[in-house]
Amino acid sequence: MSERLLEKPVGWDRPGRLPDQAVKEALEKDFGWKIEPPPYVEVPSPLPIYVTENLTRLINYLKHVLLQAYYIHDNFGKDHVERSKVFQNNSRYYPFVREHSKLRKGVLVMTIGCMEAIINSLKNTYPDKYQQLRCVFDQQLHLDQISLYDEMETEEKITYVKSLDEIVYSFLEALST
């Protein structure tokens, strides 16, 4: 897994970086994009017995996805070239979208990878919890969906991502009991 993706700072500040609220307003006003807030304001915290030091970053990534990532409805659908052009011409918006868009394929792949790594870490030590998490999350089903992701229209992507968010929440909930 990419260290860079796992270590995304949240709420960090850089010279020249626009505040998140200003970016959201600009994307909505200037481009007509709809930005839905994160689906949750609070998520379950896994019990410490299940979360080794190595897994803390994976858990934090899952929490970031649920608490700080947005559904960003742009106007490009499957046209990745046009989307890229917007960011080439408006690079000040890209950091916000990179860090906060739930619809980026890389975010989905990382989310799936985090859950799978956590499940596998519990297999030998906590076999009952391993089985419970396997019932919540089926990696192959999601890998099949991801293989079709680039061909989905924006609304199909949002529907899929919302269903994955529910699974991530249930996954964290299962780790909290």
Q: Look at residue 7 and tell me if it is in a domain.
A: no
73 neighbors 34 (Cβ within 8 angstroms): yes
What's the pLDDT at 9? Answer: 37
The answer to the question of residue 4 being in a domain is: no
- Would you state the pLDDT for residue 55? 94
pLDDT at 123: 95
What parts of the chain have a pLDDT lower than 70?
A: 1-18
Q: For the chain, what is the domain count?
A: 1
- 48 in any annotated domain: yes
Tens-digit pLDDT profile for residues 78-95? 887 888 888 888 788 888
